[in-house]
Amino acid sequence: ATQRDLVLSHELYTLAARDPAYRTLTNDWMRRSRDALGRHFDPATCRVLDAFIEGMTIHRALDTEPHDDVDVLGAVRRLTQVP
């Protein structure tokens, strides 16, 4: 995603947090993400993995130090219980 995409995403989250009318939009967005993950994982894993992806997106966008892809892959494996 571009920096602009990330900024718009965060602005939408803030708007939805302040105005319940926008929560339908963010809930639909999260549902579509979990539906895509649902092709590979059970619903509980989809929910946790979706939250991890959102969180890592924020951290990668704002952190001043790069994230090691090996660490991220390890976290995904732990979350999805893939050996």
CATH number at residue 65: 1.10.357.10
Q: What is the pLDDT of residue 83?
A: 59
Measure the CA–CA gap between 46 and 78, rounded to whole angstroms: 13
pLDDT tens, residue order, the chain (83 aa): 788 888 888 899 999 999 999 999 999 999 999 999 999 999 999 999 999 999 998 888 888 888 889 999 999 999 998 75
Structural domain tally of the chain? 1
Nearest residue to 9 via CA among 74, 54, 59, 60: 54
Within 10 A of 52 (CB to CB), how many other CB atoms are there? Answer: 16
pTM given for the model: 0.80
- Return the C-alpha torsion angle 82, 53, 1, 17, nearest 10: 160
Q: What is the residue range of 29's domain?
A: 3-80
Q: How many residues does the chain have?
A: 83
Q: What is the pLDDT of residue 45?
A: 95
Measure the CA–CA gap between 18 and 76, rounded to whole angstroms: 31
